Chain A
Amino acid sequence: MSKDQELLEELANSEYEYGFSTNIDTEILPPGLNEDTVRFISAKKNEPAWLLEYRLKALKHFLTMETPDWQNFNFPDLNFQDISYYAAPKKKALASLDEVDPELLETFAKLGISLDEQKMLSGVAVDVVFDSVSVGTSFKGKLAEIGVIFCSFGEAVQNHPELVKKYLGTVVPATDNLFAALNAAVFSDGSFAYIPKGVRCPMELSTYFRINAMNSGQFERTLLIADEGSYVSYLEGCTAPRRDENQLHAAVVELIAMDDAEIKYSTVQNWYPGDKDGKGGVYNFVTKRAIAKGRNSKISWTQVETGSAITWKYPSVILKGDNSSGEFYSVALTRNRQIADTGTKMIHLGKNTKSRIISKGISAGHSHNSYRGLVSIHSGAVNSRNFTQCDSLLIGDKCGAHTFPYIEGKNSSSIVEHEATTSKIAEDQIFYLNQRGIDNEKAVALIVSGYAREVLNKLPMEFAVEAQKLLAISLDGSVG
Chain B
Amino acid sequence: MLNITNLHSSIEGKKILKGIDLKVNAGEIHAIMGPNGSGKSTLASVLAGKAEYEVTEGEAFLDGKNLLEMAPEERAREGLFLAFQYPVEIPGVSNINFLKTALTEIRAHRGLPELTSKEFLKLLKDKQELVELKSSLVNRSLNEGFSGGEKKRNEILQLAMLDPKLAILDETDSGLDIDALRIVASGVNKLRTENNAFVIITHYQRLLDYIIPDFVHILYDGRIIKSGTKELALELEEKGYDWITQHETGTV
Contact = CB atoms under 8 A, between A and B. Distances in A.
A452 interface: yes
B15 to A, nearest CB: 19
Interface in A406-420: none
A435 B48 contact: yes
Interface string A37-59: 00000000000000000000000
Contacts of A446: 90, 93, 97-98, 101
B93 A447 contact: yes
A420 to B, nearest CB: 15
B213 to A, nearest CB: 23
A438 B73 contact: yes
A429 B142 CA distance: 11
B123 interface: no
Nearest to A391: B91
A429 B98 CA distance: 12
A442 B71 CA distance: 14
Nearest to B78: A437
A432 B92 contact: no
B206 interface: no
Nearest to B80: A435
A437 B51 contact: no
B73 A437 contact: yes
Interface residues of A, number: 26
B48 A429 contact: no
A437 B109 contact: yes
Interface string A183-219: 0000000000000000000000000000000000000
Nearest to B109: A437
A4 interface: yes
Contacts of A442: 101, 105
A435 B98 contact: no
A2 B52 CA distance: 7
Nearest to B92: A450
B141 interface: yes
Instruction: Give chain A's interface secondary structure class.
Output: helix
B88 interface: yes
B159 to A, nearest CB: 10
A438 B102 contact: yes
Contacts of B82: 435
Contacts of B35: none
A326 to B, nearest CB: 24
Interface string B194-213: 00000000000000000000
Interface string A433-463: 1111111101000110111111000000000
A375 B81 CA distance: 49
A400 B105 CA distance: 34
Contacts of B76: 434-437
Interface in A245-282: none
A427 interface: yes
A17 B84 CA distance: 37
Interface string B40-58: 0000000011111000000
B106 interface: yes
A434 B72 contact: yes
A6 to B, nearest CB: 10
Contacts of B105: 436-439, 442
A293 B75 CA distance: 59
Identify the interface centre among B84, B102, B106, B109: most chain A CB within 10 Å of its CB.
B102
Contacts of B72: 431, 434-435
Contacts of B88: 426, 428-429, 432
A166 interface: no
A442 B48 CA distance: 18
B158 interface: yes
Given A435-B82, A436-B162, A450 B90 contact: yes
**Which one of B51, B105, B158 has the greatest number of beta carbons of chain A within 10 Å?**
B51
B77 interface: yes
A133 B97 CA distance: 42
Contacts of A2: 51-52
Contact of A450 (B49, B93, B109): B93
A449 B87 contact: no
A437 B52 contact: no
Given A2-B51, A427-B51, A431-B72, A437 B90 contact: no
B127 to A, nearest CB: 14
A432 B73 contact: no
A432 B94 CA distance: 15
B49 A449 contact: no
A428 B49 CA distance: 12
Contacts of B93: 446-447, 449-450, 453
Interface string B97-112: 1100110011001000
Interface in B186-245: none
14 contacts: A2-B52, A429-B90, A431-B72, A433-B98, A434-B76, A436-B106, A436-B158, A437-B106, A437-B109, A437-B162, A439-B73, A442-B101, A447-B90, A452-B92
The 10 A-B pairs at the shortest CB distance, nearest first, are namely: A450-B92, A450-B93, A434-B72, A436-B102, A437-B105, A437-B76, A453-B92, A437-B106, A2-B51, A434-B73
Given A435-B73, A435-B82, A437-B105, 9 more contacts: A433-B102, A434-B71, A437-B77, A439-B71, A440-B73, A446-B97, A447-B90, A447-B93, A449-B92
